[in-house]
Structure 1
Amino acid sequence: MAGAAGRRLSGETDLVTLIAAMRPVLHAARYRFETGHAAPPDAFAIIHEDEATTIIAPAPDGNWARISLSVHSSLSAVGLSAAIAKALADRGISANIVAGYYHDHIFVQWDKRHEAMSALHILSETKS
């Protein structure tokens, strides 16, 4: 795929580099996962499944926090999602990971967002 200026932008594939440079960012908004047919204009993601369409959108009553990784990860990178999921699972935190072309986004329980950030910072520091 070509970038906006026609350049090929592939992203990082080395797992050690990805983890060391992931720089997680916690977004202030709460998010909600819901099903429906009409997505709100501020929807973060729309996923069409056989059973229904899943919509991830900001919502004041949402139970999920979004953490974005600043590193430009390649869609073909191997192990990043697994490393993140393990670091969070070790603390009893679920990780719902959505991959964008440039960045990965992790949805965690709202009340565990700060603990999730701590786990990700510790993971990143072990690879620096």
Structure 2
Amino acid sequence: MTKPVIETTAMIAGMLPELQDTEFAFVVWPHDKAWPEGTRASCMEAEGLSLIVPIDAAPAGAISMKCITLRVHSSLEGVGLTAAVSDALAQSRIPANMVAGYHHDHVYVPSNLAEKAVAVLLELQQGAGK
């Protein structure tokens, strides 16, 4: 197991964005209904249970999202990775929804902008080492 990276520049320089093939959607899910196979994340909000599910399990009209996994093992105490990623994507007018896992951060972007988002993140990564 790799040691978590905590320093901002090192997290950005080592983020290695990796686009996942599956399309997902953010949905509100009934508490009494089983979660769909392939559910990626959950969040209990005051308004209800939010899930990130494969697009096939989402209601019609759901926004198709793709996940970009940042392969760096970022420390949960690290500061600046989310802000840098979010800022770079915002400057390119790409909506981004960040989800932190224990080992990696995941960025959900509209499917039609996913390739552009990866290019923006690779440019950010390359600039961090300079």
**TM-score, normalization: structure 2?**
0.87
Q: Deviations over 1:22-57 (max 9, x none)?
A: 000000110011001232131000111111100101
Where does structure 1 lack aligned partners over 5 or more consecutive residues? 4-8
1:56 maps to a residue whose letter is I
Q: Which amino acid aligns with 1:48?
A: M
The aligned counterpart of 1:30 is 23
Q: C-alpha deviations, 1:87-128, integer Å up to 9, x for none?
A: 000010011000000000000011100110000000000012
Alignment counterpart, residue 38 of structure 2, candidates 39, 42, 48: 42
Residue 71 of structure 1: aligned partner:
72
Identify the match of residue 53 of structure 2 among 54, 57, 74: 57
SS state at 2:51 partner = strand
| Contact 1:24 1:120 (C-alpha < 8 Å) held by counterparts | yes
Letter in structure 1 aligned against 2:70: L
Equivalent-residue separation in structure 1 for 2:38 and 2:80 (angstroms): 30
Paired residues, number = 121
* One-letter amino acid matched to 1:44: R
Please name the residue that 2:8 is paired with: 15
- Deviation per residue, 1:57-78 (Å, 9 max, x gap): 1124751010001100011111
Alignment of 1:45-124 (within 5 A): 45-60=41-56, 63-124=64-125
Percent of residue pairs identical: 34
For the 8 Å contact 1:33–1:54, the answer to whether it is kept is yes
Secondary structure at the residue paired with 2:126? helix
Structure 2: distance between partners of 1:82 and 1:94: 13
Take 1:42 and 1:64, find their aligned partners in 2: how far apart are those partners? Answer: 14
Q: Which runs of 5+ in 2 are unaligned?
A: 57-61
Report how far residue 10 of structure 1 moved.
6.2
Tell me the TM-score normalised to structure 1 length.
0.89
